[in-house]
């Protein structure tokens, strides 16, 4: 196993003159309406994500002493943690003079890459195993100020890989490069990956699906996140109120674009 950012391996991703194709093919976000910070930036839901940024980073005037690296997880699958991670990262990328990175650390069921086109081939796992250099795996998305480190090649033992000493070394390097880092992880109850990464993070946020996730399951998730840095719970699939619609009725936002029932639909 190599070190993060180490020499590229002889095998792995296709290369052009020794450079992985992932570093020269421009990527952009897919036209997915759930990425509201990108495709409905003046919508009520987009404003809720911006409000979340202010709660996580109450002092907007300084970069010091803030939650630089935040882990996002959920208690179970399909609670919307990936769209929460992406929209939060997009909201953070709106801040002037700040650089933002989102890491897809779900090495079991990567989801961030579903929102990227064309789909990347290398990423976090390849960096940790020494199969690719960090600079070849970081993707700057076209028409955004957001950088992505995809999950990369699927591994048979993701938990062991995330427990390796190279993860801490990689995070140290990424902290040096970026002001804000959002980490999308697997659900915390069936797996321990999020708990492992939470220890290395400044803060952890639990995503819960309103009106569906049982309270005992949320309690188990909070118990599993024993690092003590859980800063809050984000509720997904919360109904948009008439007040929201009133204040945004002159905007180009259309709630029916998300669901006929007028709810904030998100997917993992």
Residue 133 lies in a domain: yes
Query: Which domain range does residue 170 map to?
Result: 42-56+66-257
Question: What is the domain-level CATH number for residue 70?
Answer: 3.40.50.300
Q: By mean pLDDT, which of 143-152, 201-210, 218-227 is the weakest?
A: 218-227
pLDDT at 174 over 80: yes
pLDDT bin (cut points 50, 70, 90) of residue 61 is low
Most confident option among 49-58, 128-137, 225-234: 128-137
| Cβ contact 17:180 at 8 Å | no
pLDDT in tens, 67-77: 899 999 999 88
Q: What are the b/e assignments for 29-45, b being 16+ CB within 10 Å? A: beeeebbbbbbbbebbb
Residue 170 lies in a domain: yes
Residue 215 lies in a domain: yes
Residue 146 lies in a domain: yes
In the chain, the percentage of residues whose pLDDT exceeds 70 is: 76
In terms of phi and psi (left: phi > 0; alpha: psi -120 to 50; beta: otherwise), the region of 159 is alpha
Residue 24 lies in a domain: no
Residue 204 lies in a domain: yes
Q: Give pTM, 2 decimals.
A: 0.80
pLDDT at 213 over 90: no
Q: What domain count does the chain have?
A: 1
Residue 23 lies in a domain: no
Query: What is the rounded end-to-end Cα distance, in angstroms, of the chain?
Result: 31
Residue 104 lies in a domain: yes
pLDDT bin (cut points 50, 70, 90) of residue 267 is very low
What local confidence, expressed as pLDDT, does residue 122 receive? Answer: 93
Q: Provide mean pLDDT across the span 88-96.
A: 93
């Amino acid at each position: 196993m190599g070190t993060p950012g180490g020499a590229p391996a002889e095998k792995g991703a296709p290369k052009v003159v020794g450079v992985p194709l992932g570093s020269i093919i421009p990527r952009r976000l897919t036209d997915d309406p759930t990425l509201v910070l990108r495709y409905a930036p003046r919508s009520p839901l987009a404003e809720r994500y911006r409000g979340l940024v202010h709660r996580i980073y109450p002092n907007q005037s300084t970069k010091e002493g803030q939650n630089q690296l935040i882990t996002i997880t959920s208690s179970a699958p399909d609670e919307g943690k990936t769209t929460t991670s992406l929209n939060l990262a997009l909201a953070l990328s709106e801040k002037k003079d700040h650089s933002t990175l989102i890491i897809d650390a779900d090495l079991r069921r990567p989801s961030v890459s579903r929102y990227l086109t064309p789909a990347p081939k290398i990423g976090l796992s390849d960096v940790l195993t020494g199969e690719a250099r960090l600079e070849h795996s970081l993707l700057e998305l076209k028409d955004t100020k957001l950088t992505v480190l995809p999950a990369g090649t699927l591994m048979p033992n993701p938990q062991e890989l995330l427990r390796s000493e190279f993860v801490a070394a990689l995070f140290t390097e990424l902290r040096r490069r970026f002001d804000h880092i959002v980490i999308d992880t697997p659900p915390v109850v069936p797996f321990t990956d999020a708990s492992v990464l939470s220890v290395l993070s400044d803060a952890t946020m639990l995503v819960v699906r309103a009106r569906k996730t049982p309270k005992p399951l949320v309690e188990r998730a909070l118990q599993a996140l024993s690092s003590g840095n859980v800063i809050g719970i984000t509720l997904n699939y919360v109904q948009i109120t008439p007040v929201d619609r009133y204040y945004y009725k002159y905007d180009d936002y259309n709630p029916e674009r998300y669901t006929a029932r007028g709810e904030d639909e998100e997917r993992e």
